[in-house]
Amino acid sequence: MATVVSHQAITSQRPSSNFKASHFLKEPLNVPIKLRQKRFKIQATASQAPLLDPVLSPSKTIPQSYKKKSNEASLILIRHGESLWNEKNLFTGCVDVPLTEKGVAEAIQAGKRISNIPVDLIFTSSLIRAQMTAMLAMTQHRCKKVPIILHDESEKAQTWSHVFSEETRKQSIPVIAAWQLNERMYGELQGLNKEETAERYGTQQVHEWRRSYHIPPPKGESLEMCAERAVAYFEDNIQPELAFGNNVLIAAHGNSLRSIIMYLDKLTSQEVTSLELSTGLPLLYIFKDRKFMRRGSPVGPTEAGVYAYTKRLAQYRQKLDETLA
């Protein structure tokens, strides 16, 4: 198994990004992102806030009606636990394979490690291994909130999954599944054994397919192509949540997360080639003043260092301690 984040060039800060002020105050759990954005647009106009289209405009201006929860937020990234095809050493890509028993244990362990870190919103890929990981990890969270997958595939799906209790809604964490966070599509390598493929095509060729930024595997996506959808999704849908002060957990995949980490840490296409992520290992970032600060991987739920990072994290943990005492 590869070790986590072996790249050298980790930058703790990055310049302000082009985030969009698409934000939503206290929306019902079942309102999907697109609708929430649309609704926000209407609210902003109705309240005579600056005529800003928060969906389309890349403006950094925030309308007056838009009140941030906090100027700081946590971002946790988790690569899914070991899958049945990781175990068999097969190229998986977009094939929807579940976790092994070891993968289940890794997800639970990841959950323990982040059990004191706030999570308001969860994003996963549309693949079961990422969704299992997020759900299993959340069984360990000390907040004891219930993660609920939002269904916006049709109007009926939205209506039929509506939650009618405000109290219950408060005890829930919305889970948004997005195909854009899926593993890179591995083309004609999907289902092939990695070792046999290296014997057939040569170690160097297979390494380029697997780790280079620009070179796609046969009929598949290069990391660059994967980044185009994954990072765009992050910028459009996840970064605004962080800017609003929502704490986010993303459960996704080796390569979709490599592309997002490349964006967060401002890695070059050369540097990202040596970035490896272990299965089931959580990575923490703090988003503040439009900058991402990398805070490594919490080794345990009570790791003193994690809570010394920011006052807000320490306060959250203290509140949990008091509530659960």
Ligand X SMILES: O=C(O)[C@@H](CO)OP(=O)(O)O
Binding residues: 79-86, 92-93, 129, 183-186, 194, 210-211, 254-255
Per the DSSP assignment, residues forming a β-bridge with 123 are 176, 250
Q: Work out the end-to-end distance of the chain between its first and last CA atoms, rounded to an integer number of angstroms.
A: 38
Instruction: Give the residue at shortest CB distance from ligand X.
Output: 92
Q: What's the min distance (Å) between Cβ of 153 and ligand X?
A: 25
C-alpha to C-alpha distance for 101 and 293, rounded to whole angstroms: 33
Binding residues for substrate: 79-86, 92-93, 129, 183-186, 194, 210-211, 254-255
Nearer to ligand X, 258 or 294 (CB): 258
Q: What's the min distance (Å) between Cβ of 92 and ligand X?
A: 4
Nearer to ligand X, 82 or 241 (CB): 82
Question: Among all residues, which ones are annotated catalytic?
Answer: 80, 183
Q: What's the min distance (Å) between Cβ of 296 and ligand X?
A: 22
Footprint of ligand X (CB under 6 A): 86, 91-93, 183, 186, 210, 254-255
Nearer to ligand X, 91 or 287 (CB): 91
Nearer to ligand X, 130 or 143 (CB): 130
Q: What's the min distance (Å) between Cβ of 185 and ligand X?
A: 9
